[in-house]
C-alpha cells in the first residue's frame, strides 16, 4: 500500500515523542523515532512509504491534504500525544473528509493508554495500535491491502462497520530488537537532520535506542508504563556498533548520537562490552545517553565509556527531598532512598572526573511535594552543578501511576487535554496539590531556571567551555538564544493557560465517566 507515516501539524516544533510533549524552552525537538522505526518495518515489508514530520518541516494541514492527493496515499499512520490529542483528532477528521476511503491508524502513548476512549471521540477514527506498534502497523497494513479481517491483528483496537469497538488480543513486545531496521536509515531517507535539536547535545544529532524497557517503576515515567514495559530487551552489541558505523559513514554531518534508551546503564557487563566494541572499531562519533543517578559510580566503567565516545548523560535527579523521592517510587528498594542524593553527588563527580558531562532533570509537584521540598530541589540542582538543567512541573499522563493517583485524589484541576499546554504550546501542569497550585508549580520552575542559568558561577563556566571548544560554543549559543526569552519573561502562565472547552468525549470529565471512576 501507499502509506504515509504522519507526525501531524500542531504548534511549530512541538515534540510529540519526548517524555513530556510540548514546545520546549531550549528549542529541543525530538525525532519521530517510533514512527520512523515503524516506517522502516513497512518498507522492509514492501509498502510504498512516505514519512512527514509536520512540526519539524513547518507543514500545514492543507499541505498534508495536498501531499496525500499528490502521492495517492491509501493509508495514514498518525502519531498522537496527550496534549495534542484534540488537535490530532481534528487533523484526522479533515484528512478523512478530503478522502473518505483513506485508511487511518492512530499510534502513540495517549491512544495506547485510552484506546476505546479515543475512538469514541470521533466517527472518523478507525483504529488504534496499543503499546509498541511496529508489527501491529505491519499486520494492519497487510490486512488492509488484501481486505482481510482485522480481528487477527494483535495489539489493535478498532471499529467495525456497525460502530462496535473491538479490542484484539495484546501483542507481545518485540523480543529480537536486531530484527528492526536502523532508524537512522529512515531519518536519512525522509528527514532533514538539522531540524532536530537537543539542548544538551551537539548539533546536528541523531537519536536511536540500544535497548527497550526499564526495570524501575517511577510513578510518573510514561514510556515503560504505556509502551516498552519493565522487562529489559537489548540489541546485540554488534548491531549497535554497526549503526554507529552507518551514521559515521552515511551521515557525516552528524555530530552526536543520543541513545534514547529509557535507562542506558542497566547491565554493567553489557554496557562495558558495548564500550569496548566501539573502542575496538575506532568509533569517533560522540554519544549522549539517558542514565540514572544511582547506578553505582564505577570509575572504570565511566572512563571506558568516555573512551568509547560517551560525552554526556541525561539524568533524572527529580527532587532534592528524600520523602518526594520515596513517594514517586524512584527506587525499586525503598531502603535506597536515604542514600539517593549521596549517590547522585558521587555519580556527577565521577562523571566529571571521567570527562563526561551531565544534564540534570528536576521535577516539582509530586504528590507529597511542599514549598520547602521544592526549595530543596533547587538547592540540590545548584550543588550538583550539572552542565545543563531543566525544571519541570509534574506532567501526569494517562496510563501512569502518577495520573491515576492524582485523579483519585481529585488533584487534576484542568478538565481538558488541551490544558496540558499553554496557548504557546509550553508545558503547563494540571496538578493542584493541597498546598501548592499548578500556577505556583510553573512559576517556581521559571524562577528555578533563572536562578540556575543566570548565576555568575554558571555563566563563567559556560564562557570557559565555549572558548575551549567550538562545538560546545555552537550548542551553547543555539540553546541560549531560545532559552533567554523564557529566562526573562517565564512561561507567562497566567496569561497563556488554555481554558477548558471540551468536545464530547474529549475532556477528563467524560473520560472519568467512561472509565467508571469519579
Write down the pLDDT at residue 348: 94
Helix%, strand%, coil% for the chain, nearest 5: 45, 15, 40
Q: How far is CA 377 from CA 339, 390, 392, 395, in A?
A: 16, 12, 11, 17
Q: Which residues contact 340 (CB under 8 A, 6 or more apart)?
A: 293, 294, 322, 325, 330, 331
Secondary structure letter of residue 265 according to DSSP: -
Looking at every residue in the chain, the average pLDDT score rounds to 90
pLDDT band at 17 (very low <50, low <70, confident <90, very high): very high
* Residue 340 in this model has a pLDDT that exceeds 70: yes
Domain boundaries, the chain: 2-167, 198-397+437-462
Averaged pLDDT, 500-513: 30
- CA nearest neighbour of 14 among 57, 51, 50: 57
Note whether 330 and 282 are within 8 A (CB): no
Averaged pLDDT, 120-134: 97
| Stronger pLDDT, 405 or 497, i.e. the higher one | 405
pLDDT band at 516 (very low <50, low <70, confident <90, very high): very low
pLDDT band at 76 (very low <50, low <70, confident <90, very high): very high
Q: Is 456 exposed, middle or buried (0-12, 13-18, 19+ CB in 10 A)?
A: exposed
Q: Which residues contact 408 (CB under 8 A, 6 or more apart)?
A: 517
Which pTM does this prediction carry?
A: 0.90
| Stronger pLDDT, 482 or 345, i.e. the higher one | 345
pLDDT band at 470 (very low <50, low <70, confident <90, very high): confident
pLDDT tens for each residue of 350-404: 999 999 999 999 999 998 899 999 999 999 999 999 999 999 898 899 999 999 9
Question: What span, in angstroms and rounded, lies between the C-alpha atoms of 430 and 160?
Answer: 35
Q: How far is CA 326 from CA 316, 331, 336, 373, 410, in A?
A: 14, 8, 9, 13, 21
Determine phi and psi for 337, rounding to 5 degrees.
-60, -40
| Stronger pLDDT, 32 or 509, i.e. the higher one | 32
Weakest mean pLDDT among 47-56, 430-439, 493-502: 493-502
* Residue percentage of the chain with pLDDT more than 70: 92
Q: How many CA atoms lie within 13 Å of 218's alpha carbon, on the beta-carbon side?
A: 23
Q: Which residues contact 345 (CB under 8 A, 6 or more apart)?
A: 383, 384
Helix axis angle, 237-250 to 268-280, nearest 10°: 40
Averaged pLDDT, 473-482: 72
Q: Is 73 exposed, middle or buried (0-12, 13-18, 19+ CB in 10 A)?
A: buried
DSSP character string of 396-429: --TTSHHHHHHHHTT-B---SGGGGBBTTS-B--
Write down the pLDDT at residue 336: 80
Question: What span, in angstroms and rounded, lies between the C-alpha atoms of 44 and 258?
Answer: 25
* Residue 480 in this model has a pLDDT that exceeds 90: no
Write down the pLDDT at residue 191: 98
Write down the pLDDT at residue 460: 86
Averaged pLDDT, 20-43: 94
Note whether 283 and 259 are within 8 A (CB): no
Secondary structure letter of residue 173 according to DSSP: P
Tell me which residue has cell 534508551. Answer: 261
* Residue 44 in this model has a pLDDT that exceeds 90: yes
Write down the pLDDT at residue 472: 80
Averaged pLDDT, 419-435: 89
pLDDT band at 106 (very low <50, low <70, confident <90, very high): very high
Averaged pLDDT, 125-139: 98
2-167: what fold? Rossmann fold (3.40.50)
CATH number of 198-397+437-462: 3.20.20.70
Q: How many CA atoms lie within 13 Å of 123's alpha carbon, on the beta-carbon side?
A: 5
| Stronger pLDDT, 361 or 461, i.e. the higher one | 361
Question: What span, in angstroms and rounded, lies between the C-alpha atoms of 207 and 211?
Answer: 13
Rg of the chain over all Cα atoms, to the nearest angstrom: 22
| Stronger pLDDT, 64 or 335, i.e. the higher one | 64
pLDDT tens for each residue of 168-201: 999 999 999 999 999 999 999 999 999 999 988 9
pLDDT tens for each residue of 284-316: 999 999 999 887 678 999 999 999 999 999 999
> How far is C-alpha 509 from the chain's CA centre?
26
Q: List helix spans (H) across 268-394.
A: 268-280, 299-308, 322-327, 340-354, 371-384
Tell me which residue has cell 554497526. Answer: 242
Residue 243, C-alpha cell as written in the block: 549503526
* Residue percentage of the chain with pLDDT more than 90: 76
Question: What span, in angstroms and rounded, lies between the C-alpha atoms of 256 and 253?
Answer: 9
Q: Which residues pair with 427 in a beta bridge?
A: 421
Q: Which residues contact 487 (CB under 8 A, 6 or more apart)?
A: 449, 450, 453, 454
Amino acid at each position: 500500500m501507499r502509506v504515509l507515516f504522519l507526525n501531524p501539524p500542531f504548534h511549530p516544533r512541538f515534540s510529540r515523542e519526548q517524555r513530556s510533549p510540548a514546545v520546549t524552552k531550549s528549542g529541543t525537538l525530538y525525532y519521530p523515532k517510533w514512527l520512523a522505526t515503524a516506517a522502516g518495518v513497512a518498507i522492509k515489508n514492501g509498502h510504498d512509504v512516505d514519512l512527514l514530520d509536520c512540526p519539524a518541516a513547518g507543514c500545514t494541514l492543507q499541505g498534508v491534504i495536498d501531499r496525500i492527493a499528490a502521492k495517492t496515499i491509501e493509508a495514514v499512520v498518525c502519531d498522537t500525544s496527550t496534549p495534542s490529542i484534540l488537535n490530532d483528532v481534528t487533523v484526522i477528521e479533515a484528512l478523512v473528509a478530503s478522502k473518505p476511503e483513506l485508511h487511518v491508524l492512530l499510534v502513540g502513548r495517549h491512544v495506547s493508554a485510552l484506546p476505546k476512549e479515543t475512538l469514541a471521540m470521533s466517527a472518523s477514527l478507525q483504529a488504534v495500535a496499543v503499546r509498541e506498534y511496529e508489527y501491529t502497523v505491519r499486520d494492519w497494513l497487510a490486512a488492509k491491502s488484501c481486505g482481510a479481517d482485522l480481528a487477527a491483528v494483535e495489539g489493535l483496537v478498532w471499529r467495525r462497520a456497525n460502530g462496535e469497538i473491538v479490542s484484539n488480543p495484546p501483542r507481545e513486545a518485540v523480543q529480537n530488537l536486531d530484527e528492526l531496521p536502523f532508524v537512522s536509515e529512515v531519518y536519512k531517507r525522509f528527514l532533514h537532520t538539522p531540524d532536530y535539536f537537543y539542548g544538551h547535545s551537539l548539533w546536528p544529532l541523531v537519536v536511536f535506542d540500544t535497548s527497550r524497557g526499564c526495570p524501575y517503576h517511577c510513578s510518573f515515567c510514561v514510556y515503560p508504563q504505556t509502551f516498552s514495559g519493565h522487562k529489559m530487551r537489548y540489541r546485540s552489541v554488534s548491531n549497535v556498533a554497526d549503526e554507529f558505523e552507518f551514521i559515521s559513514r552515511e551521515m557525516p554531518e552528524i555530530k552526536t548520537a543520543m541513545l534514547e534508551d529509557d535507562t542506558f546503564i542497566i547491565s554493567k557487563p553489557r554496557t562495558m562490552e558495548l564500550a569496548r566494541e566501539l573502542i575496538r572499531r575506532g568509533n569517533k562519533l560522540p554519544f549522549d545517553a539517558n542514565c540514572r543517578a544511582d547506578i553505582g559510580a564505577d570509575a572504570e566503567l565511566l572512563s571506558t565509556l568516555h573512551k568509547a565516545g560517551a560525552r554526556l548523560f541525561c539524568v533524572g535527579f527529580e527532587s532534592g527531598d528524600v520523602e518526594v523521592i520515596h513517594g514517586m517510587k524512584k527506587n525499586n528498594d525503598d531502603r535506597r532512598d536515604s542514600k539517593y542524593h549521596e549517590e547522585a553527588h558521587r555519580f556527577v563527580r565521577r562523571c566529571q572526573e571521567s570527562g563526561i558531562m551531565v544534564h540534570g532533570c528536576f521535577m516539582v509537584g509530586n504528590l507529597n511535594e511542599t514549598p520547602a521540598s521544592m526549595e530543596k530541589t533547587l538547592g540540590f540542582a545548584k550543588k550538583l552543578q550539572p552542565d545543563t538543567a531543566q525544571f519541570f512541573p509534574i506532567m501526569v499522563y494517562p496510563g501512569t501511576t502518577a495520573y491515576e493517583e492524582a485523579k483519585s485524589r481529585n488533584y487534576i484541576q484542568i478538565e481538558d487535554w488541551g490544558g496540558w499546554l499553554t496557548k504557546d504550546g509550553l508545558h503547563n501542569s494540571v496538578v493542584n496539590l493541597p498546598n501548592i497550585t499548578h500556577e505556583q508549580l510553573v512559576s517556581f520552575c521559571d524562577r528555578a531556571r533563572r536562578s540556575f542559568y543566570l548565576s555568575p558561577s554558571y555563566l563563567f563556566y559556560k564562557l570557559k567551555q565555549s572558548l575551549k571548544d567550538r562545538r560546545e560554543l555552537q550548542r551553547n549559543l543555539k540553546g541560549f538564544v531560545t532559552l533567554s526569552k523564557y529566562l526573562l519573561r517565564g512561561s507567562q502562565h497566567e496569561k497563556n493557560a488554555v481554558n477548558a472547552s471540551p468536545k464530547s468525549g474529549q475532556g477528563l470529565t467524560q473520560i472519568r465517566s467512561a472509565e467508571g471512576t469519579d
